[in-house]
Structures are given as structure tokens and as C-alpha cells.
Amino acid sequence: MDTTVDSDSIYRILGGVYISSARPLLEDIDLRAKYGIENIVSVQKEPIPEYYKDYNRLHVQIDDLASENLFLHFQKVNRFIDECLHGEKEGKVLIHCNAGRSRSVSFVVAYLMKRYHLNYKQALYAVQRKYPKEDKVGPNEGFTRQLQLYYECGCCDDVKELDAKYPQYRGFKMSLLQRSDVTSDAAYKDIKEVGEKEGGYVLRCKKCGQVLANSKAVIPHDPPSDEDDKQKYFYKTTFYSKEVVGVQKASSECTHFFVEPVNWMKPELGKGELEGRFDCFKCGSKIGGYRWQGSRCSCGRWMVPAIHLQKAKVDKVMNVR
């Protein structure tokens, strides 16, 4: 079975798809002569070595950081790989990063998910099985969450379509917000009643009836469904040893609406605090709060960041045309 070339640590994943670290390129390995590879996807900040200037190349300049947004690159990488493998000149493509362990693996996993309709675990296994058993490779924690979200969004790699159709993607983008960005008007949703179609809704302050958000700003989430998912339970621990002294199952009902920043929130979010409360800007009653570092819903689902309105403090009013 052609799984790897030990001398160069270049791994054949599936068909004409190969993964490696940057080492073979830094050593000027003749990929064309040795492996028949004429296409390179380089996933690193550093430029592709000049030795490969006559190869068909794509450079994706990202770091191996959880804060990087892979969705911005999925479409161009998927198209490049697909054209290399199935275009007029069917060939082979090498995807590499510095270590060949996280960034390159992430984009190959994304491609396999989209091309072969695999879920995240299936696609990751298709990559990992080609490496030596002792070599534990895989996307970093942030990339893992993005790839799982990618699957939840039907492997859609068009960012405009993602923005329009998938609220969970908008929620993910919120999680990448730097606190310095919350001073920008572009970071906030308008609270105008949408009424764009039957089924839309607004959230009104229960005390005074003021509109606080609409359905376009709400970030839906599903309670953890797997009984083995740790998010389905709340654990009580001792202060010093962190020994678990109690376990409580999460509620089957959610007690919060998690939302994107809405324009009336700007004065509070602009303070630069890590967490705080929201009061209705009309009547002053407490209606919610926020924690940029994230918090858990009553259902157990972890939300980052956690900008929320309490269901007990607002009324959900449907828009009917």
C-alpha cells in the first residue's frame, strides 16, 4: 500500500492528494520527477521556495492559530485541488504546511468532506490512517471546531451564502471578534422589525415592550444530544483540588437567546470589559448580559462569546404579514 515515502515524509492520502511538512520543499526535492507532483498548496506564512516557481502553486498565508478563519480559504483551496485532480490536466497535488500536522491536514480534511460527502471524523480518519500510528496528527482545537461547523453548514464554502443561510456561521464569526472591533458600527445589527417573511420574529422587553433584537440577530444552537457529551452535564468541583463532588444533568430547555451584537449594546460592549449586564435602554430593567470568554447555556451548550437575552425577560413575537 502506497502510504508514505519515508525518505521525504510525503504521505499519499487518496488518489493524487499528498501531504507533507515544509522539509521536502526546503531540501529542493524534485517533486515532479520523483512523484509526478506538479501542483502545490502551501499553507504557511513563509513564501514557497523559489525552486518551485515553475510549479502550479497556491499560497494560503495563515498561522497555526485557532483564531484563523479557515472559511475564508476553503473555496479557493477546494477549487484548486479539484482542478488539479480532475481538470483538463489530471495530476497530483501536494498540500503542505510547516510541520504537515495541522494546517495542511485541515484543508485536506475539508476537501474530502466536500468532495466525498464525509463527516469530520470520517475525513480525519482517511488522513490519519496514512501516517505512522505513533504520529498523532490532526487540526488544532480551533480548526477542529471550524471543520465540524463546516459539516453542519453542508460543507458550504461560499462565505456570502454562509452569511445569508447559516446563523451558526455568523455565531462563529462573532467568536473571532477582537474586543477592539466592537467600536465599529459594522459589528452591530439593527433592531428594526424585519417582517421579511412569515416565521420571522422580534424579541421585546417583557416590561415595556421595546424591541431589543430580531430573528436575524439570534444565533440558534442545539442542546447536546449525545449522552456521552460532557457538555450535557454540569460538574461541581472543590476549589483547590478540582475534585468532582457532584454532577447535574443539563436542562432540556434553553433559558437564553444568544445574539449577535445589536446597535443599542454598543455603549456597554464598548467599555472593554470581559463581561457585564444589559439593561433595557428604554425602561432600564435587566434583560441579559455578556461574557466575551464564553459561558454555558442551561442546556449545557458552550457559547463563545456569550451575548444573550434572558428568555424570562423578553417576549418572542412572531412577524405575520
Active site residues: 97
Helix 103-116 and helix 120-128, axial crossing angle in degrees, nearest 10 = 120
DSSP, residue by residue, 102-141: SHHHHHHHHHHHHHHT--HHHHHHHHHTTS-TT------H
Cα-based torsion angle of the residue sequence 145, 141, 160, 18 in order, rounded to the nearest 10 degrees:
-110
Q: Are 16 and 93 in contact (CB under 8 A)?
A: yes
Backbone angles phi, psi at 291, to 5 degrees: -140, 110
What is the rounded CA–CA span in Å between residue 3 and residue 25?
19
Cβ count near 75 (within 10 Å): 16
Pairing verdict, β 295-296 and 92-96? unpaired
Nine cell digits for residue 7: 525518505
Report the C-alpha gap between 196 and 194 in whole angstroms: 5
